[in-house]
Amino acid sequence: MIRGFSSLRETAHNWGIVRYSNEAMLPERFERTSKGDTEISQTKKSLPAKLRTVLFLVDPTKDASEIQRQILLMGAPANSLTQLVNDGYVAAVTAFNAPIKAAALSVDDQVAQFRVAKAFMNETIVDSLGIRAFLFTLKLEKCATATDLATLMPDYTQALLKKVDREAVRAMVERARELCADAGAN
């Protein structure tokens, strides 16, 4: 059992992230708002480092409990998702505002997804290692495609393992791989 997850459902319910119906638990899904997308794409960062990293975890294909699990593994504050919702960076996905999935991503969308994946990897490595991440960030800056980012995944994992516990690294690497796949990595 992963440390700190004995009461994850209770905690998520207490924060209002997960709602219950008569028959089963229906987890909410969240997506970034335009304010959240702007925060990721701009170079001037207005959120604290850990909250900014949590913003990268938000994905409308994941339920709130999965996002909350990753937040706890990374050591971010437990109420991070609630803070992002309250500040307008993230919104709940409903039947009315659910994203429409296109058959294939346009080149612009792939470039945008690549930038998000690259920024996530950069943010997490710098937050974890500080100045020691310099050499890795140089490698990261040379990446021009999502496949390039995917080839850096072993180095990314090893660098994170120097300062972060194994479970947190697993969560970060899992999310980085998802972002690379969304950007078109093979």
Residue 37 lies in a domain: yes
What is each CA distance from 128 to 33, 61, 78, 165, in whole angstroms?
A: 26, 26, 18, 10
Residue 100 lies in a domain: no
Same domain, yes or no: 13 and 88: yes
CA gap 114, 183 in Å, rounded: 5
Same domain, yes or no: 89 and 112: no
Which residue is listed with tokens 């997804």? 113
Q: Report pLDDT digits (tens) over 64-112.
A: 888 888 888 888 888 998 899 899 999 888 755 555 555 566 788 888 8
Find residue 31's DSSP bridge partners.
Answer: 91
Count of C-beta atoms within a 10 Å radius of residue 42: 9
Predicted structure pTM score: 0.67
- Note down the domain range covering 16: 8-93
Contact 78, 72 (CB under 8 A): yes
Confidence of residue 184 (pLDDT cuts 50, 70, 90): confident
Split into its structural domains, the chain has a count of 2
